[in-house]
Amino acid sequence: MRSHTSRNRRFRSPGRSSCRSIDAAIRNHAARQVVVLGAGLDARAWRMPELALATVYEVDHPASQQDKLRRIGNREPTAGRVVWAAVDLAGECLGPALERVGFDRQAVTTWVWEGVVPYLTADEVSGTVAQVAQLSAPGSQIVVNYQARSLPTSIMRHLVRLVLRVSRQPDPFAGEPWRSVWRPERMRRLLGRNGFAVLRDSDLLNLSEGLGLPSDNDGSLRNGHVAVAVRA
């Protein structure tokens, strides 16, 4: 399985609405264990006072994690504790890597998976959800940010890449192509097969109401989703 390094992967304008929705899900669940998968430059452990009693496990590829540590420097987290789990999922399973640094699979956990799913194959996404399920006590919650299938968006990405290639301009998508997109029904079935009941699944257009984002972002906002599911 490919590693979950994010290398600063975050959708641009849609990221603001997904960030707010995920923050709300974390607050509402209030678990003492939070795992951020493919953490990248996620800063929740340094900006959310609601995590003051929580242990936050940051999971990412070792190289990405070292870059983040350099950027953070001596900043004190607002979380009760931050634990670094350097995991290359190309050759490691998630469970042993987390348990080596103190993760308790009997404790209720909030799993945060933002800005990573589109860059993984469908098999990699399915495999990760299965691993998360094995590590989740009843009542645990997973928050997944994913991209829904959209023909106009796919065509636009291909056209942009073609123009860049013809004009011999750098292609920002070359190193991180989308490898999977998911219809909400398909994501619901995947989570359901692994014991997670979806509480809500909203597109970012609905979640962005009141944020004052420009209307030309409506397409990308409509295709981005945040699903919140609980382990039965």
Q: Would you place residue 12 in the very low, low, confident or very high pLDDT band (cuts 50, 70, 90)?
A: very low
150 Ramachandran zone, left/alpha/beta (phi>0; psi -120 to 50): beta
According to the model, what pLDDT value does residue 177 have? Answer: 79
Q: How many domains does the chain have?
A: 1
Alpha-carbon span 171 to 64, nearest angstrom: 21
In a domain, 213, yes or no: yes
Beta-carbon neighbour count of residue 164 at 10 Å?
15
Q: Is 43 contained in some domain?
A: yes
Instruction: Indicate whether 165 belongs to any domain.
Output: no
Domain of 57: which CATH number?
3.40.50.150
Domain that holds residue 34: 14-149+178-231
Residue 137 inside a domain? The answer is yes
Is position 36 within any domain? Answer: yes
Is pLDDT larger for residue 220 or for residue 130?
Answer: 130
User: How many residues make up the chain in this entry?
Assistant: 232
Question: Is the residue at 171 inside a domain?
Answer: no
From the number of C-beta atoms within 10 Å of its C-beta (0-12, 13-18, 19+), residue 165 rates as exposed
pLDDT of residue 150: 54
Judge whether 154 lies within some domain: no
What average pLDDT is seen over the chain?
82
pLDDT band at 215 (very low <50, low <70, confident <90, very high): very low
**Is the distance from CB of 51 to CB of 44 less than 8 angstroms?**
yes
Q: What is the pLDDT of residues 124-177, one digit of tens each?
A: 999 999 999 999 999 999 999 999 965 444 444 444 444 545 566 654 445 567
- The DSSP H or E segment spanning 98 is helix 94-99
92: helix, coil or strand? coil
The 10s digit of each residue's pLDDT in 181-191 is 999 999 999 99
Residues 56/34, Cβ–Cβ less than 8 Å: yes
* 40 assigned to some structural domain: yes
